Amino acid sequence: MKLELSQLGCALETSPIQRSRRPAAREEPLAPESRLESPPSGIEHGEVHASSHWTLFTRKRRMQIDDVSGDPKGFSRLISCATQAQAALLVVDTRLGLDSQARRHARLAAMLGIRSLLVAANKVDTATSAALDFKTIDEAAQALAAQHGLELAGVIPVSAVRGDNVGSRSPKTPWYTGPSLLASLDNIADDEASTERLLFPVQRVRQHGRFANDCAGSVISGVARVGDVLRVARTGQTARLNEITTADGTLEIAAKGSAITIRLERDLDLVRGDVLSHADQPIELTDQFEASLVWLSDEAGHAGRTYDLLSGTQCTKASLTKLKHRLDPDTDVRQAVRSLSAGDLAVCTVATNAPIAFDSFDNTPSLGRFMLVDRYTRTTVAAGLIRHSLRRARNVHRQSLSIQRADRERLNGHPANVIWLTGLSGSGKSTIANALESALYGQGRHTYILDGDNIRQGLNKDLGFTDADRVENIRRVAEVANLMADAGLIVITAFISPFRQERDMARTLIGAERFREIHLSTPLEVCETRDPKGLYRKARDGSIPNMTGISSPYEPPVAPDLRIDTSQSSVDQAVRMILSQLGPTGGRR
């Protein structure tokens, strides 16, 4: 069970004591009331409070509690804890009631799949009209829980300093007749694993060449029994479960939470990230779904940008294909959005490069959660819940064609390639692209130029120059370049393409063996002196916002295939350098 506080985010995970097999490393008595006193907000004091992790034993349960800062700067840690939680606790000041931060945390808890909510009205000993203030909080909490579909497990007036109503009922609040905080926690129902279907994500595989029959992981749902017929979601292959082992020996039955190694009766195509289930309860696959998510990164989230998606042990590349709307955390009103900022709660559609085993969070929480991770910094940028698969994901399949790219390349007499010219405005991209195509045409090569200005006359005429529009601009261009390369052409693109992530997305989509990134590294001051379109002058006087190199960033390539400074090299020299990259047949040297 996990908890969340108004000033502190507190994550609590509980289990009956008889089910716990962990050594009781911290069985010394704890003073739970001391844990409820929220420190001042990190915003007020210019600091972010560190999270703490502690364990509490009651008569019924062993409780694992993560106490996390409610400061927006601690959002990432709060989300990480909440995604593993069973319940959420809001600790509020009785004198202030359910403020906007507490309401946001309740909304966030529901969005991340937490089912149960408790509210601790703290500092009841300092409130001048405690009974009346508590009644107001109780009514507001009931409305808040109903609004977000949470089960309200209790609203308890407490004093963290004096311990009132924390471990036991206090005579100092005669107007309150409910249980103490710890009793309320004890009364929250456990998940019943026996009613869930078996889900076993593979963490490690013992290979025998390409195939394997031994794999390790943890049962995240249901029960596995020796003799069960299991199915691999990715391949549809089935096999009987012959043996279950743990560090303590063999088992006949493994319940939810068990870390086990299983041996199947025959070798299957198994890899880390595969999900096994009972053969008569198969898990669905999807590569497009609608999701609710919270954005955690200070860097804006844009549709079309590629991230790593993690769901259980599964990992694949994914992108936000559409930002449907942002949700106001206080009113739930839907708001149109072009990009996501830190703390935004949003509904969006997600596309993955490879199908993943999934279920909606409401049906199977363990397969309904996911994280998005920045591919460069490795930081978590978003946490989300899968709402449902998109029907078009099931109905649209790649058509197998008789004539393939290799056939077209043979007909053309040269390999297909994409030559991606990137650099500031005025660096010489269009000039060099034109001269390069003329040289290739003279050699009998089949070519086509995709030029930034030309593309914006038609395909991308609906896009502006915000960061979100630039991301989408390059995503479309990369898809078109990939199609033209599949037709066997040598494609030359001339776009500023300011963001490293989108250029790397294009390389991944097209294939590194057919992709050449050419950085025209002409200095900004040289580009400004050329300024054939007068853009820099207008940007300097404020007439043009979002001008790359002036008011919008340009991220130079870290390791391009070729770097050319056109202030030092002529057009002919630049063309010869690029041709040397292609080789005599148009392929990579």
Choose one of 394, 426, 447: the last residue of a domain.
Answer: 394
Q: State the total domains in the chain.
A: 4
Residue 311 pairs in a beta bridge with 314
Phi, psi angles (nearest 5°) of residue 488: 95, 10
Same domain flag for 51 and 80: yes
Same domain flag for 306 and 425: no
Looking up tokens 């400061």 gives: 71
Query: Does some domain include residue 399?
Result: no
Cβ–Cβ < 8 Å for 351, 278: no
CA distances to 46, 237, 282 from 216, in Å:
45, 18, 20
> Catalytic residue at 497?
yes
Give the active site residue among 497, 543, 570, 580. Answer: 497
d(CA 388, CA 349) in angstroms, rounded, equals: 10
The number of helices, as runs of H, and strands, as runs of E, in the chain is 16, 27
d(CA 354, CA 362) in angstroms, rounded, equals: 23
What 3-state class would DSSP assign to 191?
A: coil
Q: Which CATH number is 274's domain given?
A: 2.40.30.10
Same domain flag for 442 and 545: yes
Length of the chain: 589
Cβ–Cβ < 8 Å for 358, 290: no
Q: Summarize the chain as % helix, strand, coil (round to 5).
A: 25, 35, 40
Q: What are the strands, taking DSSP E only, across 408-540? A: 417-423, 447-451, 490-494, 515-520
Same domain flag for 435 and 360: no
CA distances to 83, 152, 299, 319 from 88, in Å:
11, 10, 28, 30
Same domain flag for 21 and 135: yes
Q: What are the strands, taking DSSP E only, across 111-165? A: 116-122, 151-157
d(CA 45, CA 48) in angstroms, rounded, equals: 8
DSSP 512: G
Same domain flag for 73 and 180: yes
Residue 349: both structure tokens together? 């559609």
pLDDT, tens digit only, all 589 positions of the chain: 434 333 333 434 433 333 333 333 333 333 444 444 443 333 233 333 345 677 777 777 777 777 766 555 556 666 666 666 778 888 899 999 888 888 888 887 887 778 889 999 999 988 888 899 999 999 999 999 998 888 999 999 999 888 889 888 999 999 999 999 988 888 887 654 445 789 999 999 987 666 667 899 999 889 999 999 999 999 999 999 999 999 889 999 999 889 999 999 998 989 999 999 999 999 889 999 999 898 988 899 999 899 999 998 999 999 999 999 998 866 778 898 889 998 888 999 999 999 999 887 777 777 888 999 998 899 999 988 898 888 665 556 667 788 999 999 999 999 999 999 999 999 999 999 999 999 999 999 999 999 998 999 999 998 888 888 899 999 999 999 999 999 999 999 999 999 999 999 999 999 999 999 999 999 999 999 998 778 888 888 888 888 898 888 999 999 999 999 999 999 999 999 999 988 666 666 6
Cβ–Cβ < 8 Å for 307, 375: yes
Residues of the binding site for ATP: 423-430
Measured between its terminal Cα atoms, the distance across the chain in Å is: 58
Residue 318 pairs in a beta bridge with 307, 352
Same domain flag for 496 and 538: yes
Cβ–Cβ < 8 Å for 297, 382: yes
Q: Which CATH number is 525's domain given?
A: 3.40.50.300
Residues of the binding site: 423-430
Structural domain span for residue 443: 405-582
Residue 122: both structure tokens together? 């703290």
Residue 210: both structure tokens together? 């390409």
Choose one of 278, 299, 321: the last residue of a domain.
Answer: 278
